[in-house]
Amino acid sequence: MTQAISEPSGDMGMHRFTTADDLADLVHLCGRRGSHTTILAVHLAIPPANSGQERWISIPVVQLLRGNVIATDGSVEDTFFYRLASGEIFKDHSKLEAERILTATVVYKEKTGPSYVDLGGHHYEFHRWLSPVVVEMHEGL
């Protein structure tokens, strides 16, 4: 998973994480009083084995959620998961069926629309630019 963030200096940077827990930590940090760091976009890089494609793909994350999910062994786990722009739900790099989700609370929601100060009206163009960059970052793994 990769995300672009805006720093107080006006600089932009990218952070690469391997789990939703790491993203949740950054969301918490950005939400602290006095923080001047903003998340501009989050993309989930999905490997070919989990996407059915020949190459890695990158899909924008529209929500990070935390909730109770029925694990494959039947137990219930408290975990983070993503809702993607495609409508799919993923837990880290694997698909998560909606019927396995018992509870969900939104932790992060993508900011969109013309009032989104950091990107103005260029939000979708930014996603189109960011997607191939994210794929390139993950292809060599």
pLDDT recorded at residue 105: 96
Give the pLDDT of the chain (141 residues) as one tens digit per residue: 545 555 556 666 777 888 888 888 888 888 888 877 777 778 888 888 888 888 888 888 889 999 999 999 999 999 999 999 889 999 987 899 999 999 999 998 886 544 444 545 555 566 565 666 666 665 655
pTM, two decimal places: 0.72
**In total, how many domains does the chain have?**
1
pLDDT recorded at residue 55: 85
130: containing domain: 2-139
Other Cβ atoms within 10 Å of 26 Cβ, number: 18
CA distances from 116 to 40, 43, 63, 104, 122 (A): 10, 18, 16, 25, 9
Other Cβ atoms within 10 Å of 2 Cβ, number: 22
